Structure 1
Amino acid sequence: MPPDTLFQRITDYANRADPYPLYAELRENGVTRQSDGSYLVGAYHDIAALLHDPRISSDSRNRTDPDTVPMIRRGNGPVAFIGLDDPEHDRLRRIAMRPFGPPHSPGRIDALRTDIARISDELVDTFGDKDVIDVVEDFAYPLPVTVICRLLGVPHADVPRIRGWTNEIIASVDLTPGSDEEGRRATGLEARQAMGAYLGDLADKRRDDPADDMLSALVHDSGPDGRLTRTELMATATLLLIAGHETTVNLITNGVLTLLRRPAAFRQLRENPELMPGAVEELLRYEPPVHLLPQRTPLADVEVSDVTIPRGVPLILVLASGNRDPRRFDHPDRFDPARQDNQHFGFGSGVHNCFGAPLARLEAQLALRAVLPRIEGFQLTEDPPPYRRSPILRGPRHLRIERASGP
């Protein structure tokens, strides 16, 4: 099929369960212009260069065609710092990082270790004698959403509201062509605004009644970069809440699925849990929770692998393709928990590298350590499982497993 249809095929839900042959086709074709004028990049070294190139903007308002600017950037609400460039991005990111981790809060993530392990154990205890378990609903979703809500200071009773808003926001950035795309985006924008308002109101309460949580810290922080405005705080808290659990749900679920498909690796990690950190790094490469970065824009004409990408066009970096590039990784389609040279794009790279990576790593390691012993002897009820619609945040919507009946 023609290479200018690759993005259409990658985002087609029919290919969600296994997009990797399309990624191989992308790498074979090199930097590829699509029928809508965007450019796809799937080779590891090209992606790495672009992620560190100051001429590549994360602010879609720099696009020359205003019709390609997302609705959220058209004056319809606050924008999180991942959609901004320096110096605005750098200032907001540094403020957000102060209460989250080093150097200002070096012990915050490590202090969560006991809580994460306890929550993981409590969740697997609910499996009881069940013969059928949905790994997503029973484990992979409730763990990270509980952790991030506690970290931010969001009451657990409000988790159902958070989930409803999150689902609508994620659906609004679904790149799959379909009916009523504008309606879906409008619904997502409303959900984003509702979540932002909710978090803004919660932060207002922390001004007079602070607690030991990140919202309180963000409200009262008067560091060298100044305080967040209420609008900035709403956008930042919304980003932290969504990113703080959505990607980790996929990471844990993809991990369980990958190991159930590979009994030898399952047994190895079940018997040697000390190998889990390396296995999580390999999962981040092999089955990453984030597959695409669709919001990049060149600020000038940029040449990549002998192809000139014009200023102002949409640029899509296919991170999951780079993670399987044979010019960077030996046997890239092989899942190898002991892989040593593993500088993957699981958390991006460059100035927009995910600063929540230490928390996601810790959650995934402790989650898999807790769940593997409890699902030994279980098997998938269907393979592939049903996937979520998003081609950006890719993972199973459900992962149902059943107790094996045979010997």
Structure 2
Amino acid sequence: MRDARFATLLTLDEQFLQNPHELYGRLRSEQPVHEVILPRGIKVWLVTRYDDVHTVLTEPTISKDIVSAVPLLERHTTAEEPQSYEAELALAGHMLNTDPPDHTRLRALVNKAFTGRRVEQLRGRVEQAADELLDAMADQDEVDLLPAYAFPLPTTVICQLLGVPDSDKDEFRDVSITMTSAAQHEEMADAAMRMAAYLTRLVESKRENPADDLLSALVNPSDDNERMTSAELQSTAFLLLVAGHETTVNLIGNGVAMLLRDPEQLAALRADPSLMPGAVDEMLRHEGPLNIATYRYTTQPLQLGDVLIPAGEFVMVSLASANRDPAVFDDADRFDITRNATGHMAFGYGIHYCVGAQLARMEGEIAIGKLLDRFPKLAFARDPGELRWRPSTLMRGLQTLPLRLR
């Protein structure tokens, strides 16, 4: 039974997960800063307008220190019984969940290893992986694009980047899906413990047998004065593994679905492949791989428009809603690969801007471009109205994407 304090609040339920844009349109117009209950039962303030989202993402009095937020989780939950977050916190000590100066230190260490040159060196591997997967699909009439292509491509790439054995892909994929979903607390805690145990083994293997990969570079830095702790290494490996493939899986799946839903846009892209970079940014804006960004909370009262959010409150921003704000993007609900989508927030903004944005864009351009080239008759294999979205407020991705190849 829901806590009486929260009984009248809006709940982000299954209907919302399947079509968040309808609610976002109303909230931007009527209540752009609104208290809601997340599927896991936590009360938060949801921010939906672009300018307010920008303010939250750059406001120094808003914290992402998840360890310090545990008392807030306990205070703002609708659960009747106390819950332990110990398992999840074991993977929380990465740069996305910290504030300066810890964030500054961790980000600098990742940037030192995750260079633009290292990313560009992966281009050939992305192209090779795409070709191999397309070859494997070539003799089939129909496929589910997600397990056949959209998942294995970025997973192969992030495994090579980090130095994760190919044989371990399925192990972290299942756990990753759970940890980015709206799963209940017990299921989430179990997935976190499994992932923590796996990453402990992986980090130790890199310490004992370093190789030419990003994780080895983080475990064994050239500068002995700048090192992550074992907990930070484990958490950073988790962040890079999950963020490094989950977002790109959804970029590819959502992007292909958008094109197939709009034959004019698909024809324009086929006619002029040079539009692909801009098309990918429009895919990121229109139906990007992230919906609501991760937890933030106020350390001081925060004024957003007419709403004063007290200190000690969770504030969560909808990147998906900001990217469809008509005050910023003309005809914002329309998918248009020729628009200038510069300024979209699919990768966030400010100090927590996605470190893998360059890699995600490259993978999206190559994956979608090669798919369209290989299968000129590509089409939905089922009524697109029957497609279902994953049960997650964080990730915006399809559960399946059945396609006809010829």
Equivalent in the alignment of 1:205: 205
Equivalent in the alignment of 1:16: 17
Could you tell me how far 1:336 is from its partner in structure 2?
Answer: 1.3
Alignment of 1:170-249 (within 5 A): 170-171=180-181, 174=182, 184-223=184-223, 226-249=226-249
Could you tell me how far 1:248 is from its partner in structure 2?
Answer: 0.7
Equivalent in the alignment of 1:83: 97
Could you tell me how far 1:5 is from its partner in structure 2?
Answer: 6.9
SS in structure 2 at match of 1:126: helix
Alignment of 1:4-403 (within 5 A): 7-8=10-11, 11-29=12-30, 30-34=32-36, 38-60=44-66, 61-62=68-69, 65-67=72-74, 68=76, 71-72=84-85, 76-79=89-92, 80-101=94-115, 106-171=116-181, 174=182, 184-223=184-223, 226-340=226-340, 342-380=342-380, 381-384=382-385, 385-403=387-405
Number of equivalenced pairs:
385
Distance 1:350 1:261, change over 3 A: same
User: Are 1:386 and 1:396, in contact at CA under 8 Å, matched by a contact in 2?
Assistant: yes
SS in structure 2 at match of 1:308: strand
State the distance in 2 between where 1:75 and 1:125 align.
39
Gaps of 5+ in 2: 1-6, 78-82
Could you tell me how far 1:226 is from its partner in structure 2?
Answer: 1.6
Deviations 1:219-243 (A, max 9, x none): 1114386211111111110111011
State the distance in 2 between where 1:57 and 1:76 align.
16
State the distance in 2 between where 1:55 and 1:235 align.
24
Gaps of 5+ in 1: 175-180
Distance 1:65 1:219, change over 3 A: closer
Deviations 1:70-113 (A, max 9, x none): 85468852422211111112211221221111xxxx41011111
SS in structure 2 at match of 1:161: helix
User: Are 2:161 and 2:214, in contact at CA under 8 Å, matched by a contact in 1?
Assistant: yes
SS in structure 2 at match of 1:82: helix
Please report the TM-score for the alignment, with normalisation by the length of structure 2: 0.89
SS in structure 2 at match of 1:33: strand
User: Are 1:6 and 1:22, in contact at CA under 8 Å, matched by a contact in 2?
Assistant: no
State the distance in 2 between where 1:296 and 1:96 align.
22
User: Are 1:196 and 1:237, in contact at CA under 8 Å, matched by a contact in 2?
Assistant: no
Could you tell me how far 1:169 is from its partner in structure 2?
Answer: 1.7
State the distance in 2 between where 1:390 and 1:311 align.
27
CA RMSD of aligned residues (A): 2.2
State the distance in 1 between where 2:230 and 2:287 align.
37
- In structure 2, what residue type is equivalent to 1:21? E
State the distance in 2 between where 1:72 and 1:188 align.
10
Deviations 1:315-366 (A, max 9, x none): 1211111110111111101111121252001100011111111110100010
User: Are 1:58 and 1:83, in contact at CA under 8 Å, matched by a contact in 2?
Assistant: yes
Distance 1:75 1:292, change over 3 A: closer
State the distance in 2 between where 1:7 and 1:213 align.
46
User: Are 1:387 and 1:397, in contact at CA under 8 Å, matched by a contact in 2?
Assistant: yes
SS in structure 2 at match of 1:338: coil
Please report the TM-score for the alignment, with normalisation by the length of structure 1: 0.89
SS in structure 2 at match of 1:401: strand
State the distance in 1 between where 2:156 and 2:49 align.
36
- In structure 2, what residue type is equivalent to 1:131? D
